[in-house]
Amino acid sequence: MDYALTPLARNLRNNSTNAERLLWQYLRCRQVQRLKFRRQAAIGHYIVDFVCFENKLVIELDGGQHAQEKNLASDHGRDSWLKDQGFTVLRFWNNEILENMNGVGETIMRHCPKTPPLTPPTRGGG
């Protein structure tokens, strides 16, 4: 992790978009298969919008600027690097989040393995 990115990541968390806030309400507090997601987290020399390290899943939200030619190439390079590190990368347009959160949620769930239910310890520590 590049610790020089920490202040930038903190700033991004404090100034999130409406789409990021809406998706965070869905992902936070282990609501998706009890998996822990982090937002605006540094991975290597990148800051990703959302990541689940235990599932190696990155979720990126894109505004209209990502449709520009120069940003498409940058996003492709970033996604390739993340995939080389073993991450799956899901990309959604901001308007998808705002207009179809149920569909986005279903897509995310398909990429999250079901975790077994928690079982209480047996009496006597056995």
The DSSP code sequence of 52-118 is ETTTTEEEEEE-GGGGSHHHHHHHHHHHHHHHHTT-EEEEEEHHHHHH-HHHHHHHHHHTSPPPPPP
Euclidean distance between CA atoms 120 and 98, whole angstroms: 39
Q: Which domains does the chain have, with CATH numbers?
A: 3-117 (3.40.960.10)
Task: Provide the pLDDT for residue 69.
Answer: 63
Does this model's pTM top 0.85?
no
Query: Which residue type does 78 have?
Result: R
Ramachandran bin of 41, using left for φ above 0, alpha for ψ from -120 to 50, beta for the remaining angles? beta
Residues 38-78 pLDDT 10s: 999 999 989 999 999 999 999 999 886 645 566 667 788 89
Which residue is associated with the tokens 């990309």?
Answer: 91
Residues 80-100 pLDDT 10s: 999 999 999 999 999 999 999
Task: Provide the pLDDT for residue 63.
Answer: 81
| pLDDT above 80: residue 2 | no
